[in-house]
Structure 1
Amino acid sequence: MRGTAGIRITEMHVPRLVRVASTVKLACRVDLQGASLYSLNWWRGSEQFYQFSPSSEDQITVWESHGITVDVSLDS
């Protein structure tokens, strides 16, 4: 389709296994190829636990999810 831009994931780091009560860092880098980012979402299974929306007043939204604690102070 002419005139469309695709977003390309250039790097993603998600540990396959995690020990209980351990700290992990999730990372996702994208090449927007000229497009604007509407939102970036993290899910575990069918449960969304994090959303970053750069154009929203509240850019970061965190939902409670059993066993997941999000430290937004580490967000970059």
Structure 2
Amino acid sequence: MNSADNGLVITRRLRVVLAEDAAVLRDGTVELLTARQCEVVATAGTAPELLAAVAEHPPAEARPSTRR
């Protein structure tokens, strides 16, 4: 088990497909998520990239944020 700074105990790593069109935000978010014990399985900068990523790594939930 892993413990985060806020006292939460994580028993299972959250698998994430991250969609963000701004590369600097995408890269920074990956760093933040991995520091919090999340597993970033794919990243996408466009809608077509996101569709391909979720086809390969089906998520339990999706909250995309892309402009195109």
Under TM normalisation by the shorter chain, which class is it?
under 0.3
Q: Which has the higher contact order (CA 8 A, sep 6+)?
A: 2
TM-score, normalised to structure 2, is 0.28
Higher helix share: 2
TM-score, normalised to structure 1, is 0.26
Which structure would you say has the larger Rg? 1
Higher strand share: 1
